[in-house]
């Protein structure tokens, strides 16, 4: 690594070192004071070093500091005063922190216990209530409930471990409940934003179309049937039901476009973009993809406001750093892994695939969609197999088919939400127009997800897919090398070149 390259990549490597230390706490805990002292002790050594040695010392200090902080956070997340109360029933005060999910026999709701009998706590739980009316997000409930442990491993899914990584160690099973108020503070603001966007963006829609729009805009799939949800998974389109960077980019583009139309300064537009990104992130909730995209979008606006150069890799690393510093368990979360693997592939693999499309009779927008969907499918396939034991074989054509309606669906949803504040009739008309986009997206999921070879779930099938991908990658690499050397991609040289080589010999004769 040259000195110039080292200086250019120094912030990236240091941020990556801190991320590695935070994630390493999942392998072994180092919450002791000795680890913190070691991290602090290493730093003065950088004063007596220079060049690469100083850089290595700082990276080591950040790894140790990240390991210590990650271990402290994991110990805090694993602490549960309510676990000692399992089996007891008490009058409980809880706050609903996310929308309810309807099961066959109960409502399952993320919540936070504020008081359990005489015990005052502040601990997240999974609240289970009888099927019926669901309490709204942000409501404070008085519940008569009994604490129980989450379910263990069952049919390949360990709910207890999955919930523990979110800081949830017990389930509160309530018999009856009634609302006694609403939470305030920043959480209350987020609840109101979520409720407003959830109502306004789907105005005029019902049934399946409403559920699809809610999934794309808010990342909630509760409004979809089990069959359609499975079709989205099988087709490789389920990522569209999780809020991504595209959503945040469109949210940020709205104030910028409005500022341009009104002739307002770019400064006001960037400030509006920052406010819109923050409001949207609060409305959607702390999903890994949302936090990552919100940090990247906010850094892009701040870079313009401070006249700094934008650095997408640094923004990506800062997003990972913020998430892992809050909860190092996220390094093991499927959503975190899929989100960052997809963005990494867009930065590195997609441009190469896009260049490979040059020279073919493919429209530019189709080549972009093909390159991005192929890159993301290749990067996320190992994660999908490791986490869910399935690989979607038709993700590339399914995403290419769905791509034309994703951005219009988001734009129309946000336009519906905006119009709902001034003219509900016009908002409902735009919402019904958006229903056509939602119906098309659901049709793509049903068509590709219903094909018999849509996904691979066996080890033999996964190995066969890996073999085919390896052969295709080797062929593409060979073609790329020949193209760099100025040779045709397919073995023999063209006839005109061979004739040109024979010309001097024929002239001599």
How confident is the model at residue 172, as a pLDDT? 94
State residue 276's pLDDT score: 86
- Cβ atoms of 70 and 23 within 8 Å: the answer is yes
**The pLDDT value given to residue 252:** 82
Do the Cβ atoms of 2 and 51 come closer than 8 Å?
Answer: no
In a 13 Å sphere around the CA of 311, the CA atoms on its Cβ side amount to 13
Degrees to nearest 5, angle at CA 184 with 178 and 185 = 160
Q: What is the DSSP string of 249-290?
A: HHHHHHHHHHHHHHT--HHHHHHHHHHHHHHHHHHH-S-HHH
Give the class (CATH, top level) of 83-183: mainly beta
What's the pLDDT at 113? 94
Enumerate residue ranges in the chain where pLDDT < 70.
1-9, 46-49, 51, 302-310, 359, 461-462, 465, 468-470, 472-509
pLDDT tens sequence across 9-56: 677 888 899 999 999 999 998 878 888 888 888 777 766 667 677 778
DSSP string, 100-154: -EE-SSEEEEEEEEEEETTEEEEEEEEEEEESSPPPPTTEEEEEEEEEEPPP-EE
Cβ atoms < 10 Å from Cβ of 307 = 6
Model pTM score? 0.82
Asked if 456 and 465 count as a contact pair (C-beta separation under 8 A), the reply is yes
DSSP state of 202: T
Strand-strand pairing, 171-182 and 455-456: unpaired
Q: How confident is the model at residue 169, as a pLDDT?
A: 94
Question: How confident is the model over 335-388, as pLDDT tens digits?
Answer: 888 888 888 888 888 888 888 777 677 777 778 878 888 888 888 888 888 888
Domain residue limits, the chain: 3-78, 83-183, 194-466
Q: Do the Cβ atoms of 96 and 138 come closer than 8 Å?
A: yes
């Amino acid at each position: 690594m040259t000195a110039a390259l080292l200086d250019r990549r120094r912030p990236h490597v240091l941020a990556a070192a801190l991320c590695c230390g935070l994630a390493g706490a999942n392998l072994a805990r180092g919450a002791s004071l000795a680890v913190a002292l070691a991290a602090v002790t290493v730093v003065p050594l950088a004063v007596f070093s220079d060049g690469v040695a100083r850089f290595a010392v700082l990276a080591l200090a950040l790894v140790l500091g990240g390991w210590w902080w990650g271990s402290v956070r994991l110990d805090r997340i694993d602490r549960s005063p309510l676990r000692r109360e399992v089996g007891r029933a008490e009058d409980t005060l809880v706050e609903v922190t996310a929308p309810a999910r309807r099961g066959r026999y109960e409502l399952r709701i993320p919540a936070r216990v504020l008081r359990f009998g005489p015990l005052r706590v502040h601990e997240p739980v999974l609240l289970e209530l009888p099927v019926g009316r669901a309490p709204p997000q942000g409501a404070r409930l008085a519940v008569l409930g009994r604490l129980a442990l989450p379910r263990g491993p069952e049919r390949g899914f360990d709910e207890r471990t999955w919930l523990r990584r979110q800081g949830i160690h017990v389930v509160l099973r309530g018999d009856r409940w009634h609302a006694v108020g609403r939470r305030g503070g920043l959480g209350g603001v987020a609840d109101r934003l979520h409720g407003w966007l959830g109502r306004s963006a789907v105005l005029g829609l019902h049934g399946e179309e409403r559920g699809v729009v809610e999934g794309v805009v808010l990342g909630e799939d509760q409004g979809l049937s089990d069959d359609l949800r499975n079709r989205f998974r099988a087709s490789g389109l389920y990522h569209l039901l999780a809020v991504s960077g595209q959503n945040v980019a469109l949210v940020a583009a709205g104030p910028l476009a409005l500022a341009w139309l009104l002739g307002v300064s770019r400064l006001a537009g960037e400030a509006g973009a920052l406010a819109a990104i923050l409001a949207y992130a609060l409305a959607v909730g702390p999903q890994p993809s949302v936090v990552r995209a919100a940090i990247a979008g906010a850094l892009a606006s701040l870079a313009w406001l401070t006249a700094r150069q934008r650095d997408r890799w640094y923004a990506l690393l800062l997003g990972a750093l913020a998430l892992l510093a809050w909860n190092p368990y996220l390094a093991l979360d499927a959503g975190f892994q899929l989100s960052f693997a997809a963005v990494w592939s867009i930065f590195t693999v997609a441009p190469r695939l896009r260049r490979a499309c040059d020279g073919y009779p493919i429209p530019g927008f189709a080549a972009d969609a093909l390159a991005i969907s192929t890159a993301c499918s290749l990067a996320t396939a190992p994660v999908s197999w490791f986490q869910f034991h399935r690989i979607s074989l038709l993700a590339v054509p399914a995403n290419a088919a769905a791509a034309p309606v994703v951005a219009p669906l988001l734009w129309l949803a946000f336009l519906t939400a905006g119009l709902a504040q001034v003219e509900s009739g016009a908002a409902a008309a735009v919402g019904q127009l958006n229903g056509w986009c939602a119906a098309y997206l659901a049709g793509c999921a049903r068509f590709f997800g219903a094909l018999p070879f849509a996904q691979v779930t066996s080890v033999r099938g996964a190995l066969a897919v890996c073999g085919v991908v390896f052969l295709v990658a080797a062929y593409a690499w060979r073609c790329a090398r020949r193209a760099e050397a100025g040779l045709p991609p397919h073995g023999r040289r063209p006839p005109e070149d061979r004739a040109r080589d024979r010309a001097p010999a024929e002239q001599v004769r």
